[in-house]
Amino acid sequence: MIRGGERREEVWLRGNLRPVAGMAAAATAACAVVVAAVAAAGSPAPLRWAAVAFCGLAAAGIGGLAAVAARPRLARRDDVLRVRLSPTVVREVPLDVVECFFLGSAALGGEAERRTDAWSRRVTTLVMRLAERAVEQQRRPTFAAWGTWDDGAIVFDGRWCEPLSVDVARRLSGLLIEAKRAAAGGSNA
């Protein structure tokens, strides 16, 4: 239901909590070690409180990261696609400049990893291709772990969005076609 001028957002590509789960496990292990060490040493009260504060901050940090990571990477609102490739910024791209979606892959690790061409060390990506005529949309800053936006290609890293597959790319292509038809039909009326 739309209330008081609010516009509904249609989620096309969900965020992902899988990487945060690993971080949460590591933070839990670190807190367990800190608490056990403080308890075993018979530490004074201020040190025990510091250990509790450390664990509380770790939990709050992981919770904040989980909230950010769970946000959609791609959503439609009216005639624009809203792209989130940064924890704090959502960029809008007009539907009419989006050409297609397709799967890709990117090398894991640093430059040395990229040169080995080892397929076992790659991550699946989703590419959203923009029209060359959309000069102002060709490049944007991003949080590199989530993806890149360069030379008219918006690349979503598969580790930070819902699991990617051929079916996901087909679904997005179908949604794009439907959205463009609806926009064209609405402008003719």
Condensed to tens digits (0 to 9), the pLDDT of residues 54-96 reads: 999 999 999 998 999 999 999 999 999 999 999 999 999 999 9
Banded model confidence at residue 36, pLDDT cuts 50, 70, 90: confident
Percent of the chain residues past pLDDT 70, beyond the cut: 88
Condensed to tens digits (0 to 9), the pLDDT of residues 147-173 reads: 999 999 999 999 999 999 999 999 999
The residue with tokens 């990261």 is 65
Question: Domain map of the chain by residue range?
Answer: 14-69, 74-188
**Region class of 109: left (phi > 0), else alpha (psi between -120 and 50), else beta:** left
Residues 6 or more apart whose CB falls under 8 angstroms from that of 156 comprise 13, 73, 74, 85, 125, 126, 127, 128, 146, 147, 164
Banded model confidence at residue 18, pLDDT cuts 50, 70, 90: confident
DSSP 116: H
Quickly count helices (H) and strands (E) in the chain: 4, 8
